[in-house]
């Protein structure tokens, strides 16, 4: 099971990079399968590069630093 506090701590590490570009990230949920749902806000919401931000940035870092994270998905 993924520790939600660990996920929040890692999101705090990536948050300054997103905020520097006018965006931000919110944790929505963490499930038993290791899927982390996040909501991109500000300039990141609807940005054409948000898919890359999720997969190559947030997901990669979470998978490296939080045991059990399998996937990061955007909130609808």
Per-residue model confidence as pLDDT tens digits over 19-73:
998 999 999 999 999 999 999 999 988 888 888 888 889 999 999 999 999 999 9
Q: Is 53 buried (19+), middle (13-18) or exposed (0-12) by CB count in 10 A?
A: buried
Q: Distances from the Cα of 4 to the Cαs of 39, 42, 43, 47, 69, in angstroms?
A: 15, 23, 25, 26, 10
Q: Is 25 left (phi over 0), alpha (psi -120 to 50) or beta?
A: beta
Confidence bin at 8 (pLDDT 50/70/90): very high
Find out if CATH 3.30.300.130 is the number for domain 4-74: yes
pTM of the model: 0.91
């Amino acid at each position: 099971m993924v520790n939600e506090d660990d996920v929040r701590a890692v999101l705090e590490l990536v948050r300054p990079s997103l905020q520097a570009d006018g965006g931000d990230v919110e944790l929505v949920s963490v499930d038993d399968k290791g899927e982390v749902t996040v909501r991109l806000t500000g300039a990141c919401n609807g940005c054409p590069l948000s898919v890359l931000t999720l997969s190559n940035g947030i997901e990669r870092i979470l998978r490296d630093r939080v045991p059990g994270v399998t996937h990061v998905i955007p909130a609808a």
